Structures are given as structure tokens and as C-alpha cells.
A and B are shown apart, each in its own frame.
Chain A
Amino acid sequence: MGLRAKVRSQGIVTILMNTGGKQDLVFGLEDVSYGYGAGDVLRSVDLKIPARKTILVAGPNGSGKTTLFKLLAGVLTPSQGSIRRWVPRGETGSLGHETYLYPGLTVLENLIFWCRLYQKKSAYDRLLEVLGRVGLKTVAYEPAAHLSRGMAQRLSLARVLALSPQVLLLDEPTAGLDVQSQDMMRKEITLARQRGATVLWITHSPEKDMPRADYVLQVGQGKICMKSCAQTGELPCGSR
């Protein structure tokens, strides 16, 4: 394993390792703090996110889960500490409360734009296949403004799938979806896990999602604790 390049940008260090395509970690947080206004939501957090694992992120509302994701995605800069990343920025896909869509573009045009921005392949056939996986192929040429909330969320998932990143940051991806769409979302998460992606997944139903996970991140009172699913007790992890 050799150090190939080290890039520092606004408190985030990206380390590109010559590991022959594999690395053990994707993110490392060192003494990271972040707050809004008076108090810190996250305080002096030290954390290492292992590669190729599925990690559930759980905690009460306002505990800092979404803030953690935004720090990992590079949207926010930590007020203290540093974040090391072992994956390039373009290999992180985020699916959250906002769909990041342009209503004035068609469904397909939205995907084409994001693929071009991330310098991924934007061939029509490939993107139509991705839309087919999320059940939106029939509306590929409709303006995104015509989509319902659930369909927009599925299009947001299609955006992430089209980018095919090494790391998925999923912030309550099943929120607002019908049962069929929730099952489709969980299936895609399982497929991502099978292809070796690292999945960080905020969920408010950990009992239901724990069988698909390797670790649980408990976020609360400014701190983060990671346990393997075997240590949390109740449900077995990794079983399908």
C-alpha cells in the first residue's frame, strides 16, 4: 500500500492510495466538531468508516445524523478537526430529503446532467435501464415537475444509481415512499452492498433494516458510537 497523492481542501484531506483497487477505510474523522448557532451538534468526534460495509446510522431527531452526512459529503466544513477520505469526491453518492432535481428538465435530462457533471457515462440506453430499475422508464421524457413526491424520490435514487459510486450516503431513503417503492429501495441497497459499495444509511426503523447491515452508528448528545450488529444484541446482522 503506497501513498499516491494527498489533497487538502477546506479541512478535508483526500488520500488516494495505491492499493490495487481496495482500501480498508473510506472516511476517518479526527476530533471533528460542527454546530449551528450556539451549540455544537457534533463534538470532538473520532470515527473511522470501514470500506465495503453497510452501516446503519440511528439516533433521535436533531442528534446530528444529517450533519454527519453533509460533513462526509463535503457540503459542510468542520469547525474543528479534519476529515480524511480514501475515496475521491466523485465516488460519493447522496440520497436525502431533497431530491436535487431540476423541475424544468425532463426525467432523463436530469440524469444526463448529473452524469455529465460527475463525468460518468451518460448514454441514453444505460440511463433508460437505470430508470427501468426504479420504475420510471415510462416517464423518462416527462418534465420532472410532473412527478409526485414518491416518484421524485425514486428519480433521486436513479441519479445515485446512475453515478454508481463507491460510497452511498442514504438519509432516510424510504421516507415518503409507498410499500412497493420501499421494497425496491431496500433491494437496491442490497445490490449495492453485493457489488462492494460502502453504504451509510440513516434509518428510523433499525429493527427492520438491521439484517442488511454490518454496523450501527449511534448518534446522540454530540457523540458517535459504532458497534457491529453482533454487539447490539437483538437481531443478527448480515443475514438475508
Chain B
Amino acid sequence: MWFQIAALAGKDIRLFLTRGHGLVLALLLGLLLIFLFSLAASGEQKISGAWAAAIFWMASCFSQVLVFNALYALEDVHKAREALLMAPMPAQTVWAGKAVAGGVILFVLQGVFIPACMVFLNLSAVHSWTWLLGSIALVDTGLIFLGALLGGMGAEQAGRDSLFTVILFPLFIPLLLAGIRLGGFVVEGLGLENPWAWVRLGASFDLVFGGLALLLFPFVYKE
């Protein structure tokens, strides 16, 4: 099964990156959001770490909607989705492959968003790179688990971008809260009494929604 997940993810990453326009759209959307919010805060002397983290995670959320819609749209061109359903593997393998591909692409996008945030939001330094990378990995895991599930739900549906946004964003609230609080701690290095409580919240979210995704995906991704 792992080999099949790798084959699926490799195919998706290759198609997404070589086709180009999906990556460009997601990147531009995220950078635009960061830039617009930096304009809104341009009068402020110093932006708080939590606000910077909120802008970063909002850019990441909107970009990942485009990413997963594009990943599932790859199967629509010649109805490859039918062939995936016929393949000798559980449907969850498709979910896992999409999640891995989405995670890699999202990580690449965030590699651009982080310096963009530092430049546009005038952030001087990062308190701890370990905490930064760890919190990104924690929150990204939840984003891709849910993103891969709901992307499959919206496959071949008209208006799936809207559907995705309406359903997905409210579900993300606990995870984004954890990301914002941890992000503030990463930037400022103070003001957060117990960061591990937010880590536990994020990890619990990942476990719960990862399990739900594994259970529900065969029912949402079928003819």
C-alpha cells in the first residue's frame, strides 16, 4: 500500500508542478493575502506575532483549497477516478496519496509565504526555528487530512471551490487557533504560558480528523 501511495503522490506532484498554473494560482493567492493585510497594518509600529501567524495561516488555508481542488481535478480529465476505484487498493490509498501530495505542495508554498511574511509584515526574527517547523508540521497535518477528505467529496461537483470553503473553514478553527497561538510564541518568544497545551490541541485535532477521514473517504469518493 505504501508503494501505491508513493506512486499516487509522485504522479500528482509531478503533474501539479509541471503544469504550472495550479502552483502559480495558489502562490499568487497566498502572497496577495499577505500583501493586502500588510497594507492594512502599515500604520502600526510593530505587528504582533499572533497577527502575523494569523495572516500566514489564512494564506495557507486559502492556498490549500486551490491545491486540493486542483489535485482532484487531475482525475476528472479522462475519468481516471473510475480506474482508481478499480485498482487493487482500498479507497483510503487515494486519500493518503492526495494528502501526501498536498502536504508537499503546501510545504513548498509555505516556504515562500514565510519570507514574504517576514518582509511584508516587518518581522525581525524567529524565536525558535524548531518550534516554527514543528508547529507548521502539526497544523499542516490537520489541513491536509481534512483537505484531502473534502477535496474528494467535492470531486466532480459544480461549485466545489465554494463548497470546500464553506464546509472546511469552520472545521479548521481549533487547528488555526493552535497555529496562531504557537506562531505568536515562535515570533515573540513570550506571552504563551503553556505552548504544549496548544500542541496537544493540534495533535488531537489531527488524530480525530485523520481517523474520520480514513473511515469516511470510501463513502465520499465513489461513483
Contacts and interface: CB of A to CB of B under 8 A. Distances in A.
Contacts of B74: 102, 104
Interface string B180-211: 00000000000000000000000000000000
Contacts of A94: 82-83, 86
B11 A113 contact: yes
A100 B82 contact: yes
Given A102-B77, A104-B18, A75 B86 contact: yes
A33 interface: no
A74 B78 contact: no
Contacts of B78: 98-103, 152
A77 B88 CA distance: 16
Contacts of A117: 4, 7-8, 84, 87, 89
Contacts of B83: 94, 100, 114
Given A10-B218, A102-B77, A102-B80, A119 B86 contact: no
B133 to A, nearest CB: 31
A103 B79 CA distance: 12
B50 to A, nearest CB: 40
Please tell me the size bucket of the interface on A. Answer: 20 to 34
Interface stretch (A21-29, A84-92, A126-134, A232-240): A84-92
Contacts of A139: none
Interface of A is mostly: loop
Nearest to B83: A100
Please tell me the size bucket of the interface on B. Answer: 20 to 34
B44 interface: no
B15 A70 contact: no
A92 B86 contact: yes
Contacts of B89: 117
Given A89-B88, A117-B87, A98 B79 contact: yes
Interface string B66-98: 000000001001111011111111000000000
Given A75-B82, A94-B86, A116 B7 contact: yes
Contacts of A114: 83
B202 to A, nearest CB: 33
A13 interface: no
Given A105-B15, A118-B87, 17 more contacts: A70-B82, A74-B85, A75-B82, A89-B86, A98-B79, A100-B80, A101-B78, A102-B11, A102-B15, A102-B74, A102-B78, A104-B74, A105-B14, A113-B7, A113-B11, A114-B83, A117-B8
Interface of A: 10, 70, 73-77, 88-90, 92, 94, 98-105, 113-114, 116-119, 152
